[in-house]
């Protein structure tokens, strides 16, 4: 049986662990730039704050009901996620962390009593040891366990065990859009063909599905019928790409300012590569205007350049990123977002040397370690590349960020006895 353990309102729950005053109040965590609602407490959901809604659209609700809006604090959420994930191996040797707030567990014993007991135990232990409330769904496939979890959440059950015999009943009440793997486009397409519920989809002939919707949806359909097609992935392959991208708080039209932003993003993504001990074979820079403003002239450009040798050396990453930037930049637009992608990642230790290399790799590595140590100890701005320069208008807005309680010594919570 597959269990999915999913943290309830994860980002909000993380905030509540360290600020119990938020308990019982409507709380919303905002995306970068304090833009959209990305996590909502039950109270905020009940007031009608939609997932992904931009803040200015629920400002009225916010004022009227005293909704607490917080900027996202990813350092905290990542650390809390690590704590939660670290607990799962006591219930199963096969754990697949699926996202920052979810993991699949493979449970060998299918007896209902056993599954109930384990699911309850997971719920109480995670809450007691980390402060995070979770929901658990269990069934014969991953897709059905996700449906069970959704059911548990909707009905405030906390856990739901779904034997295959009971699946059709539940699927008849599950809308196609709420199936794991069926997104907006597919929902629309299915709706046009009068397929509304998960049960209707699972009763559709698989040949027809395969022909019109491809193998991915076919797998989902089989899974709804209780036939596992999406295996556990406990040892995921190495990461293939890495991105650092941000929207600007104001629109930017100056080339210099945009260039500075790109150089800074290149710095950040190179540092992230080194943390993961990876090197990239190519760099891609992309720029875009504000697609929410169709009346403005639009431009979405990107340029990819291959490195001579796979690298994570900041000066080299910045150099290539700026070269790509100069090729993709067009003047006369007001830019809203830029990003730097590192492509075709390889483990740093497996990089093949190059006889006529321009860079002294040995020195480069020592220089970067020194830089990384300095930044870890004294902050990112203590020592950095001039190119990534002074912080300008393109910087993200983060007005309401809470302390990084668990990862910074000077932000650790203080108890007064």
Partner DNA sequence: TCTGGGGTCCTAGGACCC
Residues forming the site for DNA (CB under 7 A) = 31-33, 35-36, 38, 52, 54-56, 59, 98-102, 146, 179-187, 214-216, 237, 239-247, 249-251, 272, 290, 292-293, 304, 337, 339, 396
Q: Tell the smallest beta-carbon distance from residue 141 to DNA (Å).
A: 14
How many residues can be counted in the chain?
417
Decide: 149 and 137 in contact? Cβ < 8 Å: yes
Q: Tell the smallest beta-carbon distance from residue 236 to DNA (Å).
A: 8
Q: Tell the smallest beta-carbon distance from residue 182 to DNA (Å).
A: 5
DSSP state of 54: B
Q: Tell the smallest beta-carbon distance from residue 371 to DNA (Å).
A: 20
The residue (of 119 and 198) whose beta carbon lies closer to DNA is 198
The residue (of 239 and 327) whose beta carbon lies closer to DNA is 239
Tell me the HSE value of 215 on the side-chain side, using a 13 A CA sphere. 2
Closest CA to 14 of 71, 86, 92: 71
Q: Tell the smallest beta-carbon distance from residue 202 to DNA (Å).
A: 15
In the three-class reduction of DSSP (H, G, I as helix; E, B as strand; rest coil), residue 152 is classed as helix
The residue (of 343 and 359) whose beta carbon lies closer to DNA is 343
The residue (of 107 and 230) whose beta carbon lies closer to DNA is 230
Give the H or E element holding residue 136: strand 134-139
Buried b / exposed e across 30-57, counting CB within 10 Å, b at 16+? Answer: bbbbbbbbbbbbebbeebebeeebebee
Q: Tell the smallest beta-carbon distance from residue 117 to DNA (Å).
A: 26
The residue (of 361 and 404) whose beta carbon lies closer to DNA is 404
The residue (of 48 and 214) whose beta carbon lies closer to DNA is 214
Tell me the HSE value of 181 on the side-chain side, using a 13 A CA sphere. 22
DSSP state of 310: E
Residue tagged 């830019």 (tokens): 335
């Amino acid at each position: 049986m597959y269990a999915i353990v999913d943290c309830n309102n994860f980002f909000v729950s993380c905030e509540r662990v360290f600020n119990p005053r938020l308990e019982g109040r409507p709380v919303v965590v905002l995306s970068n730039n304090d833009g959209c609602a990305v996590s909502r407490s039950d109270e905020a959901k009940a007031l009608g704050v939609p997932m992904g809604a931009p803040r200015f659209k629920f400002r009225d609700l916010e004022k009227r009901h005293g909704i607490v809006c917080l900027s996202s604090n990813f350092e905290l959420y990542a650390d809390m996620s690590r704590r939660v994930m670290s607990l799962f191996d006591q219930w199963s040797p096969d754990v697949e962390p699926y996202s920052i707030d979810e993991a699949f567990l493979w449970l060998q014993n299918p007896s209902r009593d056993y599954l109930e007991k384990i699911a309850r135990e997971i719920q109480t232990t995670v809450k007691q040891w980390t402060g995070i409330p979770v929901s658990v769904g269990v069934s014969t496939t991953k897709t059905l366990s996700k449906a069970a979890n959704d059911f548990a959440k909707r009905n405030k059950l906390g856990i739901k065990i779904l034997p295959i015999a009971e699946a059709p009943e539940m699927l008849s009440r599950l809308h196609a859009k709420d199936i794991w793997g069926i997104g907006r486009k597919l929902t629309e397409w299915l709706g046009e063909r009068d397929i509304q519920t998960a049960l209707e989809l699972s009763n559709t002939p698989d040949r027809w599905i395969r022909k019109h919707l491809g193998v991915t949806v076919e797998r989902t359909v089989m899974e709804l019928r209780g036939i596992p097609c999406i295996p556990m992935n406990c040892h995921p392959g190495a990461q293939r790409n890495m991105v650092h991208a941000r929207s600007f708080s104001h629109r930017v039209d100056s080339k210099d300012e945009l260039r500075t932003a790109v150089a800074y993003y290149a710095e950040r993504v190179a540092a992230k590569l080194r943390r993961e001990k990876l090197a990239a074979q190519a760099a891609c820079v992309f720029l875009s205007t504000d697609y929410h403003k169709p009346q403005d002239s639009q431009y979405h450009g990107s340029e990819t350049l291959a490195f001579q040798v796979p690298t994570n050396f900041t000066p080299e990453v910045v150099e290539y990123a700026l070269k790509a930037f100069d090729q993709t930049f067009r003047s006369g637009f007001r830019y809203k977002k830029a990003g730097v992608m590192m492509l075709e990642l390889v483990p740093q230790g497996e990089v093949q040397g190059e006889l006529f290399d321009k860079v002294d790799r040995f020195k480069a590595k020592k220089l970067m370690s020194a830089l990384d140590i300095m930044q870890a100890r004294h902050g990112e701005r203590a020592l950095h590349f001039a190119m990534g320069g002074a912080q300008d208008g393109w910087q993200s807005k983060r007005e309401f960020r809470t302390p990084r309680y668990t990862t910074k010594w000077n932000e650790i919570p203080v108890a007064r006895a």
